[in-house]
């Protein structure tokens, strides 16, 4: 999942980037509204975290511009401006959620997960494929009583496959989901991550199939009952 953080408070931006990166998200950061508007017009994001008090162009103007272009990207407003009228304005302009600074980090993480879960179209907080369960709220994979201990990037990749199970996921979609503008992900690196996931999933009867020239697909086991 790829996130754009728009925050002009540099220490806060750095702390949130570290937090989100550690959770396995690909994070791009800009510090003014004009840069945010240009980047959102050029790149695809799964979530925008938007401050309101921004240089160049304020956050509400950015939000208004995004929705005027019919861009449906989810937006979480994160601001010190917490008056009821301002919350109503932000939500009416098309924000998906609104948090007031200072905030609890655990609540922030939970709201990010909730928005991304809705964006993925998941109707439940858990996805099960074969014996492996994905707890979307906790971002945890579990097979029976055992938690699958995955590095952050492998976790993000397996999350992508679970959310698109039964469909081919192209390499471009993998790169978009797992990397920020400052990162790169070669074809060889993608193949290595997929190979590692295959080895982790094989004991549980799950198969990552290669669709030659197209990408990869997590197959849903056939119910033989």
Q: Domain-by-domain residue ranges, the chain?
A: 2-119, 126-218
| Helix (H) / strand (E) containing 194 | helix 187-201
57 neighbors 32 (Cβ within 8 angstroms)? yes
CATH of domain 2-119: 3.40.50.2300
Predicted pLDDT at 81: 79
pLDDT band of 187, cuts 50, 70, 90: confident
Predicted pLDDT at 25: 87
Half-sphere exposure of 133 (CA within 13 A, CB side): 12
pLDDT band of 29, cuts 50, 70, 90: very high
CATH architecture group of domain 126-218: Orthogonal Bundle (1.10)
Instruction: Say if residue 132 is exposed, middle or buried (CB neighbours under 10 Å; 0-12, 13-18, 19+).
Output: buried
Residue 87 has pLDDT above 90, yes or no: no
Q: What is the mean pLDDT of residues 8-12?
A: 93
Predicted pLDDT at 55: 93
* For helices 59-68 and 33-42, angle between their N-to-C axes, nearest 10 degrees: 20
Q: What is the mean pLDDT of residues 172-192?
A: 84
Residue 122 has pLDDT above 60, yes or no: no
């Amino acid at each position: 999942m790829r996130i754009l953080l728009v925050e002009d408070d540099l220490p806060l931006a750095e702390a949130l980037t570290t937090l989100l990166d550690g959770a396995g998200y690909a994070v791009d950061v800009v510090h003014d509204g004009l840069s945010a508007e240009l980047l959102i017009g050029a790149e695809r994001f799964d979530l925008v975290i938007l401050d309101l008090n921004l240089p160049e162009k304020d956050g509400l103007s950015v939000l208004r511009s995004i929705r005027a272009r019919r861009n449906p990207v989810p937006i979480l407003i994160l601001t010190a401006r917490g008056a009821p009228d301002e919350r109503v304005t932000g939500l009416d302009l098309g924000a998906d959620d609104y948090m007031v600074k200072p905030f609890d980090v655990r609540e922030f993480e939970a709201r990010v997960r909730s928005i991304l879960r809705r964006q993925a179209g998941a109707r439940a907080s858990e996805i099960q494929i074969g014996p492996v369960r994905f707890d979307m709220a906790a971002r945890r994979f579990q097979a029976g009583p055992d938690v699958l201990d995955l590095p952050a990037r492998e976790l993000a990749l397996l999350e992508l496959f679970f959310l698109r199970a039964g469909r081919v996921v192209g390499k471009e979609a993998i790169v978009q989901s797992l990397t920020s503008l400052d990162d790169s992900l070669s074809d060889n690196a993608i193949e290595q991550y997929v190979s590692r996931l295959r080895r982790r999933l094989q004991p549980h009867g799950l198969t990552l199939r290669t669709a030659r020239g197209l990408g990869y697909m997590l197959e849903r086991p056939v119910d033989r009952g």
